[in-house]
A and B are shown apart, each in its own frame.
Chain A
Amino acid sequence: NAGVTQTPKFQVLKTGQSMTLQCAQDMNHEYMSWYRQDPGMGLRLIHYSVGAGITDQGEVPNGYNVSRSTTEDFPLRLLSAAPSQTSVYFCASSFTGGWNKNGYTFGSGTRLTVV
């Protein structure tokens, strides 16, 4: 099992550019989510999905879009990158309920810099 795969690991964007951060899991998890991690702050939820075709906003959704066409994939789109979106992004997945014995699985992160 690969677990949760995030790509790319590093990315530099110019202000105004768009890009998609990829997240894929092979554990048949219903729940997938995107977080951003900024210095001195805890991880904050951007968007989440409880199953294919179902997405919802988290704590900091502005400037980001998501879709969930399959159980496996949950891409995060930056529509027009801004320096405030410079951060480390993590994708995570779990079975519905979040507190089954396997808990959450996190991807390895994407370090994004917007200049």
Chain B
Amino acid sequence: KNEVEQSPQNLTAQEGEFITINCSYSVGISALHWLQQHPGGGIVSLFMLSSGKKKHGRLIATINIQEKHSSLHITASHPRDSAVYICAGVLMEYGNKLVFGAGTILRVKS
């Protein structure tokens, strides 16, 4: 079993839909990152959070430390949101080390 599990693996949505991507982890982490990768592109850090909720524009990230679960929400989705979304935990035992989920491929159709 992977230490970080993401669901769904693939997601297709219509423009304007509310999108949720989930991330569950089985290891102790001090924080969790949500990353975005466009096709053929680099990786951009969207959020880093260790508790509660963060919001940036149409993106909202939440984390529940007790349940070892995080979600990334996209409101009013747009075709430009089409990308791979990756969650990554900062391992508590190893300082900076990241452990990654396999990613969720999101396609938003117009």
Residues in chain A within 8 A of chain B (CB atoms): 31, 33, 40-45, 48, 50, 58, 90, 92, 94, 96-99, 101, 103-109
Contacts and interface: CB of A to CB of B under 8 A. Distances in A.
Interface of B: 2, 4, 30-31, 33, 35, 41-45, 47-48, 50, 86, 88, 90, 95-103
A42 B95 contact: no
Contacts, number: 69
A106 B101 contact: no
Contacts of A97: 30, 95-96
Contact of B102 (A41, A48, A98, A103): A41
Contacts of B48: 99, 101, 103-104
Contact of B31 (A33, A90, A98): A98
Given A42-B86, A98-B90, A99-B30, A106 B98 contact: no
22 contacts: A41-B102, A42-B2, A42-B102, A43-B86, A43-B88, A45-B97, A58-B97, A92-B43, A92-B98, A94-B96, A96-B96, A98-B30, A98-B95, A99-B48, A101-B48, A103-B45, A104-B33, A104-B45, A104-B48, A106-B44, A108-B42, A109-B42
B45 A106 contact: yes
